[in-house]
Chain A
Amino acid sequence: AQECQNLELEKQRRIERIKQKRAQLQELILQQIAFKNLVQRNQQTEEERKSPPPRSSVIQLPFILLNTSVRTVIDCSISSDKCEYLFNFDNTFEIHDDIEVLKRMGMSFGLEYGKCTPENLKTAKSLVPKSLESYVTGMADGQILNQEQFTC
């Protein structure tokens, strides 16, 4: 009976770990879909326009984004070699990585919200290996595992 109890605990620990790893895998899948979708979009756009966009009007990945209200006063100090920056804000700000920005642009087809049209689902599946297609279908059906639920 004691061994049963220990094994029950072990089983629960493994189930939790598996849920966490599944959530991490889902996040990686979204990253791959978003990135490949972006590359495809840009390739198509450049083909249609027959030329790349001006370099000064694009932001190359990877990057980090800081956003704040237009009313925020930002004080910026930069070292002479540009290896150190100090920003002082008089208001709150947010920081996002490039993958978060791609998701907001819709590059992951809304899979992270469980909302994906059948046509986009087909495209999304084509951007991942066959062995992972079931995860994409699962996400489209709303089986999203939020990593935050499992972090300490």
Chain B
Amino acid sequence: KEVLDHLQRLKAQIEDLEIKEKELDQQKCWLQQSIKNISEDPTNSRFAYITHEDLCNCFSGDTLLTVLAPSGTQLEVPVPEMGQNGQKKYQVNLRSQSGPIQVLLINKE
């Protein structure tokens, strides 16, 4: 009888979890659409920018490169390898199929 009771409880718990999961799926879907709508709204797009000062304050002392690229642009980073001069090589490759890529060098100095 104990096992049967436990079984019933588990089934009820799983049902509750299923409902919760569906609710989360709906909320996630809704929020993704909301973010898409907000970011594509022309009024919001006009004010969706940061300043050079904003960036320099967050990454103080670093050299910064911002990349603005069309959707679908591929950024690729190979595993760092040792170069011929004994120094490690770090690479970033950017490829766009639908328009030019804009890269800005932002260095406070």
Contacts and interface: CB of A to CB of B under 8 A. Distances in A.
Interface of A: 1, 3-4, 7-8, 10-11, 14-15, 17-18, 21-22, 24-25, 28-29, 31-32, 35-36, 38-39, 42-43, 46, 53, 57-70, 72, 74, 76, 81-93, 95, 98, 101-102, 104-105, 129, 131-132
A10 to B, nearest CB: 6
Nearest to B17: A14
Contacts, number: 189
Given A67-B59, A87-B91, A132 B47 contact: no
A87 B65 CA distance: 11
Contact of B35 (A22, A31, A38, A65): A31
A148 B55 CA distance: 26
Given A66-B65, A68-B63, A4 B6 contact: yes
Q: Which of B13, B21, B66 has the most A CB atoms < 10 Å from its CB? A: B66
A17 B48 CA distance: 33
A95 B10 contact: no
Interface string B5-48: 01100110110011011001101100110110011000010011
Contacts of B107: 70
A58 B50 contact: yes
Nearest to A81: B100
B27 A72 contact: no
B55 A65 contact: yes
A84 B47 CA distance: 28
A74 B63 contact: yes
12 contacts: A7-B10, A14-B17, A18-B17, A18-B20, A21-B24, A32-B38, A38-B50, A46-B47, A61-B39, A66-B67, A89-B89, A90-B88
Contacts of B95: 83-84
A39 B31 contact: no
Contacts of A42: 47-49
A105 B50 CA distance: 10
